[in-house]
Structure 1
Amino acid sequence: MVLVKKADGRKEEFDGGKIIATCMRAGLPRKAAEAVLAKVNKKLYDGIGTHDIYEMVLKELERTEDRSSMVFRLREAVSQMPSDKFELYVMKLLEGRGYRCRWNVLVKGRYVEHQADILAEKAGRKYLVECKHHVNPHRFCGLGIALQVQARLDDIRDGFREGKNTLDFSQAWIVTNTKYSEHAKSYASGKKIILSGWKYKGKDSLENIIQSKRMYPVSMLKLDKNVKSRLYEQNITTIQEAVGAKGIDRKAADYIRNQTKLLLG
């Protein structure tokens, strides 16, 4: 039995099934995923870190198929986005699911004015969406965030009842690129806060929202900082938007077009 050291210091038994499942989600057929696992198994040792395993898998994917290695890097790519562009990216993901959205809106509550990351609406229901972006994708989104979001929602609802705003919110919704603590999950469940995080929850998990619409972030592309900066200056956050972007040299434009075609099939 090989024990693996997780990012938070805990140890657990190595589970090869997770590697196969991850590789298949990235687009590899099962036999190819099993071949990747076989190569990783040869390099395992007791106490190996999850990041070391990640690097092994990524190296094998890069040898077999460009697309699968790019999708495998999705979590890392999202963590590399600027926080304000992550908010904009989330808004575009929600719009891709049929929500009407507004980004970065000031809303008067009963006591104070609040800056809402996203206001989303669908089927007559309004959502106060809070985005929490972390550079370290292994951090947890904790109870404090859920408490803060609920307090904001309560004040805005009180403001609505007093005629200070016209937004009758149905629910709060937190979107993060990391995982949630158990306390945050428990509190959110009781308060009916929607949680979208990494591998949480089901169809509303962040990676599922991204992959179901194939709206991959531009940070997945291997572009130099200047090109990425020019894209972000134009509020371009998805690979689809990057195709035909202005102010990009021909070499970068061709690369973007080819990689987008590869990712979208």
Structure 2
Amino acid sequence: MEKQIYIKKGNDEMELFSFEKLKHSLQYAGAPKNVIETIIHGIQPVIYDGMSSNEIYKKAFALLKKHNKVCASRYSLKRAIFDLGPTGFPFERLVAALLKEKGYKTEVSVILDGACVTHEIDVLAEKDGNVYAIECKFHSDAKGSSNVKVPLYINSRFLDIQEQWNTNSKNKTHLKQGWLVTNTRFTEDAINYAKCVGLTLLSWDYPKNNGLKATIDSMALYPVTTLTTLTKKEKHQLIEKDVVLVKELINASDKMKNIGISEKRIHRVLDEVKKLCDISQL
């Protein structure tokens, strides 16, 4: 019988380690069967009780990167979103881009008057005459989660804005709903409260099969922080130049040159970009 090993998750909870779960995440990233077997074989001897899930991820990522950089990029998505920080603005850009691909008109960082006070809305999205006020809650590590206080606060802000918007005869659209988006998770109370008041929630894996991970993969809207051909410093320099999405690099050769990336490396980066965007459409 295989020995049971407990590992420490990002939120400090202990969980029974599962090779099947690791295999599934590698398969989801598009890794071929023989590469998955090589990675499992490489990790099996070094796993121990109390090992962190982050250590396991780093070992799996390093092995996957040797065999297939594009699969490694997809596998790194969760960490790559954390790496968008320290501010939440690039995450807001990412959320706006996802909505734009779904047919919404979007604006980032919009100041709106409420019935009582003025509010800054992270993303304002409009589709078919309906407007949605979206708050983005970015966490820079996996321990961060949004408890019930967050949707309580967001919903009260939304109601203040909604009253003002929908009674203003100049507005030709209807402010329909508030949304709350986070890159980590919501507590059960937060989810229950949001369901009760009609606030839409979106997190890494909520709603099931339609969270951030599934949406980003299906649309190939990867953040630049997923790329293996750029250094961490280069990624943040590009984010400072307002390049947040991988696909934006296709028309950003000048920006890459401006931060000192050679012509040869630009070709390598663009090759990875094209493969990464294509693989999600298979």
Q: TM-score, normalised on structure 1?
A: 0.91
Aligned position for 1:135: 140
**Distance in 1 between residues matched to 2:133 and 2:49, nearest whole Å:** 45
2:201 aligns with one of 195, 199, 223:
195
1:204 aligns with one of 198, 201, 210:
210
Residues 35-90 of structure 1, C-alpha deviations (whole Å, 9 max, x = no match):
42333222221222111211121122122211111111111111111421211121
Aligned position for 2:260: none
**Distance in 2 between residues matched to 1:137 and 1:125, nearest whole Å:** 33
Give ranges in structure 2 of 5+ residues lacking alignment: 258-262
Structure 2 contact 183–204 (Cα < 8 Å) conserved: yes
Q: Summarize the alignment of residues 1-265 of structure 1 with structure 2, pairs less than 5 Å apart.
A: 1-82=4-85, 83-163=88-168, 166=171, 168-221=174-227, 222-224=229-231, 227-245=234-252, 246-249=254-257, 250-265=263-278
**Distance in 2 between residues matched to 1:162 and 1:98, nearest whole Å:** 26
Q: Which moved more, 1:225-234 or 1:49-58?
A: 225-234
Residues 222-258 of structure 1, C-alpha deviations (whole Å, 9 max, x = no match):
4346644553344221111112312332244323212
Secondary structure in 2 matching 1:28: coil
Q: Which moved more, 1:208-217 or 1:10-19?
A: 10-19
**Distance in 1 between residues matched to 2:42 and 2:219, nearest whole Å:** 32
**Distance in 1 between residues matched to 2:130 and 2:38, nearest whole Å:** 47
In the alignment of these two chains, the number of paired residues is 265
**Distance in 2 between residues matched to 1:115 and 1:157, nearest whole Å:** 13
Structure 1 contact 107–165 (Cα < 8 Å) conserved: no
**Distance in 1 between residues matched to 2:101 and 2:62, nearest whole Å:** 32
Structure 1 contact 109–157 (Cα < 8 Å) conserved: yes
Q: Which moved more, 1:18-27 or 1:255-264?
A: 255-264
Q: CA deviation at 1:18?
A: 1.2
Residues 1-39 of structure 1, C-alpha deviations (whole Å, 9 max, x = no match):
111122333222112221011101111134533442333
Q: CA deviation at 1:203?
A: 4.3
Secondary structure in 1 matching 2:174: coil
**Distance in 2 between residues matched to 1:29 and 1:123, nearest whole Å:** 42
Structure 2 contact 247–277 (Cα < 8 Å) conserved: no
Q: Which moved more, 1:2-11 or 1:62-71?
A: 2-11
Give ranges in structure 1 of 5+ residues lacking alignment: none
Structure 2 contact 115–164 (Cα < 8 Å) conserved: yes
Secondary structure in 1 matching 2:274: helix
CA distance 1:255–1:138, shift in 2 (3 Å)? farther
Q: TM-score, normalised on structure 2?
A: 0.86
What percent identity do the matched residue pairs reach?
Answer: 28
**Distance in 2 between residues matched to 1:233 and 1:102, nearest whole Å:** 18
Structure 1 contact 7–49 (Cα < 8 Å) conserved: yes
Let me know the Cα RMSD of the aligned residues: 2.1
Structure 2 contact 11–142 (Cα < 8 Å) conserved: no
Residues 88-113 of structure 1, C-alpha deviations (whole Å, 9 max, x = no match):
12101110111111221111111001
